[in-house]
Amino acid sequence: MNSDCAVQHRDVLGKCVAGNRACVQWRSLKRRSADASRPAMSVDAATVRKIASLARVAVTDGDIEAMVPELNNILGWIEQLGEVDTDGVAPLAAVIPNHQRLRADVVTDGDIRDKVLANAPQAEHGFFAVPKVIE
């Protein structure tokens, strides 16, 4: 593993998801994804049956035959996305700027401990008293 590429930002395949250009693993995966001679990923009926079994979804043979071309079409779109040149594009959390509207952090009501403790089933020394859980 390259010291420039921390384990925390790798996906389950070991790919550098941060796009760290210094990461040797990331560069090799980037080259392979751009290789047009690589066969496209596809699924067959057995793969769909296995996925349905793992997901605990009951599907009929007719449904499986209908899902095979749909899933292959989706995988084709994913392959097209892999061909997009994203060099120099910063990762985004959202496509539109999100600004949180924060309120001022001020105490609006306080000094009502006695009123709050009036609702407690049992209070001791200005706190809620609860039964001991761990002996």
CB 20 within 8 A of CB 39: no
Put simply, whether the predicted model's pTM sits higher than 0.75 gets the answer: no
Q: Band of the pLDDT at 16, cuts 50, 70, 90?
A: low
State which fold the 39-86 domain adopts. Histone, subunit A (1.10.20)
- Give the domain ranges of the chain: 1-37, 39-86
Residues near 104 by Cβ (< 8 Å), separated by ≥ 6? none
- pLDDT class of 41 with cuts at 50, 70, 90: confident
Tokens of 100: 């949180």
Cβ-proximal residues to 1 (8 Å cutoff; 6+ apart), any chain: 7, 25
